[in-house]
């Protein structure tokens, strides 16, 4: 099984950017009947970015700092530099 954090392309709305963060899980199952490939995409958080503020929210609605989010998902820190 392979898991990765995916940062979707930012969506611009009224001067703000919405950046969606998803966890993608992929796995391969084989049996005597054949092979199956499964993928699941789960939303993790959303980042709202504007000139006035940057905030992040878990998918549950709980506000979380960007620092806390990058500690939880270390690969996120490198990818956020591009945004």
The pTM score is 0.75
Q: 39: which 2 tokens?
A: 């993928």
CB under 8 Å to 35, separation ≥6 — which residues? 28, 29
* Structure confidence at residue 30 (pLDDT): 92
* Structure confidence at residue 80 (pLDDT): 65
Assess contact for 46 and 18: CB atoms under 8 A: yes
Over its C-alpha atoms, the chain yields an Rg (Å, rounded) of 16
- What is the pairing mode between strands 2-7 and 11-13? unpaired
* Structure confidence at residue 82 (pLDDT): 54
């Amino acid at each position: 099984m392979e898991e990765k954090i995916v940062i979707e392309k930012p969506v611009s709305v009224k001067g703000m950017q919405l950046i969606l963060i998803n966890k993608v899980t992929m796995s391969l199952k084989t049996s005597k009947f054949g092979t199956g490939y499964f993928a699941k995409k789960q939303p993790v958080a959303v980042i709202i970015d504007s000139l006035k503020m940057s905030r992040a929210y878990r998918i549950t609605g709980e506000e979380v700092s960007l620092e806390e989010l990058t500690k939880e998902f270390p690969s996120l820190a490198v990818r956020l530099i591009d945004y």
